[in-house]
Structure 1
């Protein structure tokens, strides 16, 4: 077996699925705040577009994708961020953001140049930044994100010798799992450091459209040279099962990535692209989704304030990053909640493999994803309050 695969702990969401199956066997009703897969229905016009586009004769799609979709994405990006992207040279459709993020290091890390194969990312983190790096033969450099820094990755504090050996920096704002957001000035600072050290800046922006007040910025607003962004319709439009998004940015990097993707077998089916075209063309359904997530957010801010749990107030995403009660780890608190059918993700699920190997993974935090319906959220907090009381709080 590939030693890299063998050395990794089970993918966190797979472990959650196993635990949920055990609860179902016991007949316990599950309130699943673990995996970020919301239950709100996909807009009917998106579903209809997909159905209408299923062909009688199915043929292979192309890696560059449909021109009309790339043009729609270009228009959307300009309307949303004020940045004009060439639909022919700066945009590629992807099968969601995860696969594109995973495959990116395979194209751009040259294992024959060991002095330039480090990949920096912040932790806690979405596991795919590290896993894509490991599969590509790169060297992951996890950097702890701190509450006092608002969970921002501070490149200015990283040793110059490490930056000189770095090929890729991953940033993710709005952030999974903490829900932290970054300002345009932060993007400017990171961009400047990446340009100084000839580092590719990769910005995972799949949560930019789940916000409640100010609109989060894009890394491409501060520059396109050496920058690639990753967007997805999974959260924005409730299309997690469709697996559709896009990659955009530096024309030279996009050209090279397009060549590499031809080997991966990841061209997006035309009927999925037809549905994506409708989704990127419409904002009304996104506004409705934001209202629902805000209602859920407000339910839980009131609840956590009531029972005295500390949390990072989410200005964007549908996540809460919460501290377990004093004297407990996030993992222990999550295990306790499982007994009541409430599934959350311990902070340890977002540790890097290096942190685990070096025993630096214990976390007092846990994450909830506002996945259940509004009514289910209201039900869940009544059960959660009892679970919390049963601990003596």
Structure 2
């Protein structure tokens, strides 16, 4: 077996699936706030677009994707972020963002070069690290700090490290904390990456779930050495469709598109046509955000009432919550789990480096607002009883 695989712990969401299966066997009602897979239905017009596009004869899709989809994404990006992208040379449709993020280092990391370091902040989406390890790169996790607003501060990283860095991953709005980055942050981060010839990879899968000001894209602040990753999973309730896109620096996109033919990840044509209909419409996005805001506001009121500290979520459907003072997060989360409330403990978002060095500790846990509003109300009643048991 590949030694890289052997060194990794189970993917966090798989561990949550095991826990949920155990609860189900015990007959405990499950309120699943653990995995970021919303329960709101995929809009009817998107499902119809897919059904109508299923062909009598199905043939291989191309890595470049449908031109009308790329044209639509280009128009959407211009309307949303004010950035013009050439649909033929700066956009690649992908089978969701996860595979595109995972495969990216396989193309751009050369294990024989000195410049093979990949920087990302923790807590983090595990795929930034895992893609790097499979590619033979050097992972460089940086612990994100509450006092920095959970922003990955490249200005605080040693020059010698930056000189060895090939890729920097940023993710704002952030999973798991929900942190949002201001324009000044993107300006500085883009500038530093360009100065050190680093590819800035910006995972922007949550830019369309927001409750106040609209989040930024890194491409608003520069194209050179910048690549962004977008997805319809959260924006349009299409997690099972696996549809997204990669966009940015023309030279990087050209090379990535060429090499992606080796991975067999081209999006099926009927999925692309469903995606085309989704990118054309904003009304369903506004409606989904209204629902997520309603759930967010419900939880904020509850958390305030029981005195728990949390990072105020301006975007995403996540709430990053600190365990009560004097109570280890593991104990608090365990009590919630035993009563059917599934959440993700902060340690699930540590890197393997932190785990190996026994530096994986967190006072926080993540709640994903994916159950229905009524389920959220039921869960709050259960949670309140669990919380009182610690007083």
Q: Which residue of 2 aligns with 1:267?
A: 266
CA deviation profile, 1:49-100 (whole Å, cap 9, x unmatched): 0000001101000000000000000000000000010000000000111110
Whole-angstrom CA distance in 2 between matches of 1:7 and 1:81: 40
Are 1:331 and 1:348, in contact at CA under 8 Å, matched by a contact in 2? Answer: no
1:149 aligns with 2:151: no
Are 1:207 and 1:317, in contact at CA under 8 Å, matched by a contact in 2? Answer: yes
Q: Which residue of 2 aligns with 1:46?
A: 46
Whole-angstrom CA distance in 2 between matches of 1:72 and 1:359: 47
- The alpha carbon displacement at 1:124 in A equals 0.3
Q: Which residue of 2 aligns with 1:255?
A: 254
TM-score, normalization by structure 1? 0.99
Q: Which residue of 1 aligns with 2:62?
A: 62
1:376 aligns with 2:372: no
TM-score, normalization by structure 2? 1.00
1:364 aligns with 2:363: yes
CA deviation profile, 1:293-344 (whole Å, cap 9, x unmatched): 0000000000000001100000000000000011223222111101110000
Whole-angstrom CA distance in 2 between matches of 1:89 and 1:332: 51
Q: Which residue of 1 aligns with 2:186?
A: 187
Whole-angstrom CA distance in 1 between matches of 2:267 and 2:97: 12
- The alpha carbon displacement at 1:144 in A equals 0.6
CA deviation profile, 1:22-67 (whole Å, cap 9, x unmatched): 0000000000000000000000000000000001101000000000
Whole-angstrom CA distance in 2 between matches of 1:111 and 1:29: 48
Are 1:50 and 1:275, in contact at CA under 8 Å, matched by a contact in 2? Answer: yes
- The alpha carbon displacement at 1:260 in A equals 1.1
Whole-angstrom CA distance in 1 between matches of 2:124 and 2:382: 29
Q: Which residue of 2 aligns with 1:238?
A: 237
SS at match of 2:14: helix
SS at match of 2:259: helix
Q: Which residue of 2 aligns with 1:14?
A: 14
Whole-angstrom CA distance in 2 between matches of 1:161 and 1:59: 49
CA deviation profile, 1:331-367 (whole Å, cap 9, x unmatched): 2211110111000000000000000001110111000
Whole-angstrom CA distance in 2 between matches of 1:27 and 1:145: 38
- The alpha carbon displacement at 1:176 in A equals 0.2
SS at match of 1:378: helix
Please give the residue correspondences for 1:124-163 in structure 2 after superposition, counting only pairs within 5 Å: 124-163=123-162
- Structure 2, unmatched stretches of 5+, are none
Whole-angstrom CA distance in 2 between matches of 1:154 and 1:362: 20
1:121 aligns with 2:120: yes
Whole-angstrom CA distance in 1 between matches of 2:378 and 2:312: 22
Whole-angstrom CA distance in 2 between matches of 1:262 and 1:298: 45
Are 1:329 and 1:365, in contact at CA under 8 Å, matched by a contact in 2? Answer: no
Are 1:331 and 1:363, in contact at CA under 8 Å, matched by a contact in 2? Answer: no
SS at match of 1:240: coil
- The alpha carbon displacement at 1:110 in A equals 1.0
SS at match of 1:336: helix
Whole-angstrom CA distance in 2 between matches of 1:223 and 1:267: 27
Whole-angstrom CA distance in 2 between matches of 1:225 and 1:147: 30
Q: Which residue of 2 aligns with 1:199?
A: 198
Q: What is the root-mean-square deviation in Å for CA atoms of aligned residues?
A: 0.5
- The alpha carbon displacement at 1:193 in A equals 0.5
Whole-angstrom CA distance in 2 between matches of 1:222 and 1:332: 43
CA deviation profile, 1:146-190 (whole Å, cap 9, x unmatched): 000000000000000000000000000000000000011110000
Q: Which residue of 2 aligns with 1:218?
A: 217
Are 1:122 and 1:171, in contact at CA under 8 Å, matched by a contact in 2? Answer: yes
Are 1:180 and 1:314, in contact at CA under 8 Å, matched by a contact in 2? Answer: yes
Q: Which residue of 2 aligns with 1:73?
A: 73
Whole-angstrom CA distance in 1 between matches of 2:19 and 2:352: 21
